[in-house]
Amino acid sequence: MTSPTDLAALLCSRLCHDMLSPVGALSNGLELLADEKDPEMRAKVIELLEQSARISTDKLKFFRLAFGAAGGFGEAVPVEEAQDVIAALAADAKRVKLNWAIAEPSLPKPAVKVLLNIAQIALETLVRGGTLDIGVEKRDGNVEIVARATGDKIAFDEIIGRALHGEIDEAEITSRTAAAHMIALLAQELGGGLQYALSDGALVLGAVLPEPEGLIG
């Protein structure tokens, strides 16, 4: 079984991998800006810098809620915080239409972690664009989460599916599968579970998580 220290290291590796491109673009853009004298080219470089800064900020907001302690929110997180993060990731992915079915004003922190990670896994499968439908409902003391990705091509690795089911081998836990492994452990600790179903042109990811007693209502 992967130790908490090893899992944290793998999640940090994932963070570094995802941040390398936009932060590297910022560094390169600043070097170009220092040498460029043409006003039109400088304007284009500044536009690229602004884009890279926005992407970096969006990713950091995601990691804060998806992997971190999300300090400042108490035991529940406003749903719009999670929606804004997912919408930003979908905008960066391009050619992805995002639909929501969430009536709840807030969700427990663990549910937000699962929601964000499920949404990102689903989003990453839409390599040619498509539609991402996300729904959340509180029912019978549980938080039920579903993300449905549909598109011309769904690129889903079965190893991630096994990680979501808690059936992954230790040797298969890498920076690419660590997030799925993390939320599987989290769901197990809460007494809930994760599911997925893959068909031609569609991937459905789901979670059922018991709601903390202090937040039921």
Per residue in 155-191, pLDDT (tens digit) is: 999 999 999 999 998 889 998 999 999 999 999 999 9
Helix 79-93 and helix 39-66, axial crossing angle in degrees, nearest 10: 140
How big is the chain by its Cα radius of gyration, in Å? 19
**Percent of the chain having pLDDT more than 90?**
57
Helix 109-125 and helix 39-66, axial crossing angle in degrees, nearest 10: 130
- Domain limits of the chain? 4-215
Structure tokens, 146: 């579903």
First to last CA, the chain: 36
Structure tokens, 166: 């808690």
Torsion sign across C-alpha atoms 181, 87, 208, 190: positive
**Percent of the chain having pLDDT more than 70?**
96
4-215: CATH topology: Heat Shock Protein 90 (3.30.565)
Nearest to 191 by CA among 130, 123, 110: 110
pTM of the model: 0.88
Would you state the pLDDT for residue 171? 87
- What 12-15 contacts at long range (C-beta under 8 Å, 24+ apart), as own/partner pairs, is 13/175, 13/178, 14/175, 14/176, 14/178, 14/179, 15/63, 15/67
Would you state the pLDDT for residue 193? 96
Lowest-pLDDT range of 30-44, 67-81, 97-111:
67-81
Confidence label for 14 from pLDDT (cuts 50, 70 and 90): confident
Per residue in 131-143, pLDDT (tens digit) is: 999 999 999 999 9
Per residue in 86-130, pLDDT (tens digit) is: 999 898 777 899 999 999 999 999 999 999 999 999 999 999 999
Nearest to 214 by CA among 85, 117, 108: 108
Would you state the pLDDT for residue 115? 97
Would you state the pLDDT for residue 216? 53
